Every structure is written in C-alpha cells, then in structure tokens.
Amino acid sequence: MPVPLFNLTPNLKVSRLCLGTMTFGEQNSLPQSFRLLDEAFNAGINFFDSAEMYPVPQRAETQGRSEEYLGRWIKQRKIPRDRIVLATKVAGPSGQMTWIRGGPKCLDGRNITEAIDSSLKRMQIDYIDLYQIHWPDRYVPMFGETEYDPTRQFCSVGVEEQLDALGRAVSAGKIRYIGVSNETPYGVMKFSQVAERVAHYPKIVSVQNSYNLLCRTFDAGIAECCHHERISLLAYSPLAMGILSGKYFAADGGPVDARLNVFKGRYSEGESRYNLSNNIIKAAALEYLGIAIKYGLHPVSLAIAFVLSHPLVASAIFGATKSWELDEVLKACMIELSPEIIAEINKIHASMLIGDSIRLGENHGNGGLMNNLQCFWNPK
C-alpha cells in the first residue's frame, strides 16, 4: 500500500512519512543516498526534509552535502518537481558553525535571504515548498534542555524582520510556505500574531519539533497553540535517535555503524537528548520495547504508529541509512494501535513524568525481553 497523504495546506499534500536527509554526505554516500531516495519515492513518500547545515555531525567540509545530494537525485532521476515536496531549514545563531555566514551570528533578514538563495543553488531547483527556521534566534531551552533560564536571554532579531524576509521570498516565488522548528508555545503564538497584523507576512503552517514515546513535551503546551492556530506538527526523531528500535540494548551496545556509536562523543546535541545513563530514559525505553514484544509488533512499528496516531501530526520525519531500516518504517505507517496498547503506553509515560524508575523497571528484570528483541538487532 502507498504511504497515506495529509493536507498540510489546501494546496500542499505531504506523505505521512517524511525522509530526513541529515545522514546524506556523512553516514551515507551519494549512491547509498540515491538508493534510499529511490526506494522511498517508489513506496509513496513524496516529502523530503533537509537543512543548510546538514549532514551531522556538522563540519565545514561536508556542510550542504545533504541538500546537494537531494538536488542531484531530482535532476538525475528527472523527478517531476510537482511530484515531491521539498523542505529545508535556515540555521539559527550558534557561534560554532563559523563556515555558515560567520556562525551564523544571527537570523536577520540578510541571513535568511542568503540562506534561501544558497539552498536553491545547492538543490538546483527554482523553489522550496516548505522553508523553516531551524531554531529560534532568541534563547530557548532545546536539544535536551527542558527548563527556561531567563538569565540567558539576550538581544535577538525580531519576528517582524524574519517574517518580512520570508514574505519577500514568497512573493519572489522562491518559497511557498514557511514553518518553524525547535519552537516553544511563545514562539508559535508570536509568529502567528505578528503574521495576522501585516498582510504580506506569511503564516507558519508547521512546527518541526521532536516527538516520540520518550519525548512528549509537545503535548504540554505547544499542542494547544497548534490546534487553535491550525498548525501541524512535523514530528522529528520518532525513534528517539534509534533507541526505540532496541538496537542499543544489545549486549555489545548495538551495531558499530549506528549513529550514537559512530559519533560517540562528537554528537553532543543528540547524546544529550536521550542519554541511556539516565535510569528513567533507559527503563522507559525497555518498557516500550516490552509492549512491542507483548503485542507482536516490531519496536519500530510501535514507535512510528504512536507518533502518527497524534491528531496534530502531519508527518513523521525519520532517518534511515539502510534499506531494511526504511522497510520497517514503511510497514509502521499501516499499523493502528489498539486502545489497550495506548493505555499501556500512557501508563509508562505517567511513570516517566514522576521519575519512577523503580516502577518502570518492574517488568524487565530478567533476560527474556533481551532475548526476544535479539531478532530485531541484526536483520537480513
């Protein structure tokens, strides 16, 4: 069965699975990237997400390759432009990626305009369907942080200037729609309210935030904003960087070429989000894997199906470095979780919220779970 579609806007239908490209140019070579893109497109995925800073971990030598590979695939395969939806992102201030416009130092109109033009050139296309601010110009807790610290706030570029630059790009035909990423309820409402006041300011249509069984912060506040403002969630990291697949619980720590193993110590943004040295995270992940085994589901199917069951989720953005990984995700979009499974998931989530690692660990004290999961770690 083809991957179902979702109306992100009245004129933009996206597949409920979106292939993320941040491994293209680092973990995946050009031929490998082409093969994954071919297989995803032939399976009915029309939605592809990238960013100017990709691949990760970010390096000056590889910056932009993910967009470049995606563009070369479109050109060499002669993919009709109206058959695919391309999303990419402008990097926010970091102070670390000096090779991207000096940092970038800020996310002002000039930086946004320059980033759009560079992405169009790298992908060899005339327009971008969905252009997103990768993270806010202002300080916000993100990439594993959970608490806001007002002492870290600094002078930032106003939303008005950003929307003006994006609006000019829309008018010029360079982008069709805009979205934000790694945003907060305040940010979503600020963008929405400012856009309402000025006719040529575009309205954000999506929020690309992390959402999975181990990270449901979206539901705590931003979900209400999205519901009332008619903004969809593009859920990235639906497998919690592969943890929810079960592969990192193997006796040897999982495949040597798995992301968190290959880049151990070099990928702090990723490692800080889902640290298995945290007893709560580890215990909850094992409990979710236990649910998958109990109901005869692949752990990937459970994780992806849970994300897609959310009424505000338009698409789950996933990464794959191998064909069999892509196959498992494709199967997952056909799974519908029963009320019983959802109830068990919510029970684990409630224990996570109160930090009850003892209760979470009640059901995996023996090696049975590990033995049952072994068949998923080294497929084909």
> What is the DSSP track for 17-43?
EEEE-TTBTTTB-HHHHHHHHHHHHHT
Q: Which of 54, 131, 211, 288 is catalytic?
A: 54
Vertex 301, ends 355 and 281: CA angle to 5°? Answer: 20
Buried b (16+ CB within 10 A) or exposed e, 130-145: bbbbbbbbbebebeee
Q: Write the Ramachandran bin of 63: left for phi over 0, alpha for psi from -120 to 50, otherwise beta.
A: beta
Contacts of residue 374, defined as CB under 8 A and 6 or more positions apart, other chains included, come to 250
Helices 279-294 and 339-353: crossing angle in degrees, nearest 10, is 170
Dist CA 145 CA 133 (whole Å): 19
Query: Which amino acid type is present at position 265?
Result: G
Rounded to the nearest 5°, which phi and psi values hold at 203? -95, 140
In degrees and rounded to multiples of 5, residue 47 shows phi and psi of: -115, 125
Query: What is the rounded CA–CA span in Å between residue 4 and residue 163?
Result: 31
- Any catalytic annotation for residue 54? yes
CA angle, residues 56, 63, 48, in degrees to nearest 5: 65
Active site residues: 54
